[in-house]
């Protein structure tokens, strides 16, 4: 992952109110740690980012992103 990927992600999916990138931990964190709404918003933003990043990396490697049959 690099900073350009994250910036591109944030253009497509702006951070929810009360959520910011934490460079030390490498994820999205709530501005107020005890705020349930901000905590959940940060969790969803992290999930959205990880999915977006996985799809982007697979595309760079020339692989389609899809579920494999069991």
Q: Look at the chain and count its residues.
A: 70
Each residue of 3-42: pLDDT tens digit?
788 999 999 999 999 999 999 999 999 999 888 999 999 9
Alpha carbons 66 and 15: distance in angstroms, whole number: 26
Residue 51: band (very low, low, confident or very high) from pLDDT cuts 50, 70, 90: very high
For residue 60, the model assigns a pLDDT of 84
Q: What is the DSSP string of 6-49?
A: HHHHHHHSPPPTTEEEETTTTEEEESSTT-HHHHHHHHHHHHHH
pTM for this one? 0.79
Residue 61: band (very low, low, confident or very high) from pLDDT cuts 50, 70, 90: confident
């Amino acid at each position: 992952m690099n900073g350009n990927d994250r910036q591109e992600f944030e253009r497509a999916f702006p951070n929810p109110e009360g959520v910011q990138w934490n460079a030390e931990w490498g994820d999205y964190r709530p501005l107020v740690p005890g705020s349930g709404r901000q905590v959940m918003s940060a969790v969803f933003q992290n999930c959205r980012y990880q999915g977006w990043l996985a799809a982007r990396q697979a595309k760079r490697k020339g692989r389609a992103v899809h579920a494999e049959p069991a």
